[in-house]
Structure 1
Amino acid sequence: MKLIVLDRDGVINEYLEKPVAHPDEWVPLPGSLEAIARLHQGGWHVAVATNQSGISRGLLTLETLHAIHQRMHEKVNKAGGKIDVIAFCPHNDSEQCDCRKPAPGMLYTISERLDIDLSTVVVVGDSLRDMQAAMATAATPIMVRTGKGQKTLDNNKGLEHIPAYDDLASYVDALLAPKEEE
């Protein structure tokens, strides 16, 4: 099985300075839905791992989060793609859970649900937390410059070894490009 795990806000949809608190606020980034469709059509399974502290902070309910994710599923499906699993952490930093990125708990949950070794998985994110979670599980971290990505790259020396792409679509272009014979 080929699996890619995507962060949500800033990778699939526009990053807002506040949590996406209503389905209408969930706006896909240009090319992201088509990129997910190309992954699906190319034999990849797609999962999403997303910190959603807005729940613990009372900014949205679990029902609203499910409605947002339903909108995401519908948009991805309409583009010809599929998201196999969504894992989310409803906690904030002060709760010290094992699921909130940079902790790797959501990645372990996805691994268990899909019965896959995380060392074979690609994790695409736009934040230091995403990269730390990927590295903690031996997954392959990939940065995108959308969302908080460029700021993260500018502010965090030590990420130079992690490949960075303009957006999810450009990473998927590179991933799915035919490999040249040696």
Structure 2
Amino acid sequence: MTIKEPANKLIILDRDGVINLDSDNYIKTPDEWIPIESSLRAIAKLNNADYKIGIATNQSGIARGYFDLITLTLMHKKMEMALAEVGAHINALKYCPDHPDNAGPNRKPNPGMANKLISLFEVLPEETWFVGDSQSDIECAINANCKPALVLTGKGERTLKKGNLPDNLPVFKNLMEFVDHLLADHNIN
């Protein structure tokens, strides 16, 4: 008799505005990367529930010349260390440095990064949540056939006020509220 390993469970997260505070002037240095403490704890809860965590983040600040790859790496090291302090970790991180005027297949709302994460973890997109704070996150989720969810941190409030979002889009105060609903199985669709 063969025992089949349970399928991977993946949550895809945007970075700026979901895991850390966002800025209309871009997050350009490790000092400007400031975590949302409840998001770090939410990721730890997901880790403990055997979810894989993937990040899909547009980082056009590189193409705009606001920071370089070394600085981006230092920001991500700071994120890893902040997560480790609460017993959390990220399983994979994809970023797109493209300028919006020269966007390739990985720049959200295009599904490239999400598709790579789905493939990496061998999950079904229709069983995968993509949590973001912007229109491009929601559209990326839909373009990758994932389940979108909006958080009101970061640009989330503005995104909600602008409208033009799918009917029945689940909206949460922050990542922790999303995770609590998910783990309590409040049947978010």
Question: Aligned runs of 1:18-97 on 2, under 5 Å?
Answer: 18-97=25-104
Asked if the contact 1:73/1:83 (under 8 Å) is kept, the reply is yes
| Structure 1 pair 178–109 and aligned structure 2 pair: CA distance change class (3 A) | closer
Distance 1:92 1:107 in 2: 18
Distance 1:81 1:105 in 2: 26
Distance 1:179 1:156 in 2: 24
Asked if the contact 1:165/1:171 (under 8 Å) is kept, the reply is yes
**Structure 1 segments unaligned to the other structure (5+ residues):** none
Q: Compute the TM-score of the two structures, normalised by the length of structure 2.
A: 0.91
Cα distance per residue 1:78-120 (max 9 Å; x no partner) = 1111100000000011113011000000011112222222222
Q: 2:168 aligns with which of 140, 161, 164?
A: 161
Coordinate RMSD, CA, aligned? 1.4
Cα offset, 1:9, TM superposition: 0.4
**Structure 2 segments unaligned to the other structure (5+ residues):** 1-7
| Structure 1 pair 154–169 and aligned structure 2 pair: CA distance change class (3 A) | same
Distance 1:11 1:36 in 2: 11
Query: 2:179 matched to which residue of 1?
Result: 172
* 3-state SS of paired residue (1:11): coil
Specify the code of the residue in structure 1 equivalent to 2:115: Y
Distance 1:38 1:176 in 2: 9
Runs (4 or more) in structure 1 with deviation over 4 Å come to none
User: Does 2:158 correspond to 1:151?
Assistant: yes
Distance 2:18 2:113 in 1: 17
Distance 1:85 1:145 in 2: 24
Deviates more, 1:82-91 or 1:170-179: 170-179
Cα distance per residue 1:39-76 (max 9 Å; x no partner) = 00111111110000000111000011011001101111
Specify the code of the residue in structure 1 equivalent to 2:106: C
Distance 2:173 2:24 in 1: 20
Query: 1:107 matched to which residue of 2?
Result: 114
Asked if the contact 1:153/1:159 (under 8 Å) is kept, the reply is no
Aligned length: 180
Asked if the contact 2:135/2:165 (under 8 Å) is kept, the reply is no
Cα offset, 1:161, TM superposition: 1.8
Cα offset, 1:158, TM superposition: 3.6
User: Does 2:125 correspond to 1:118?
Assistant: yes
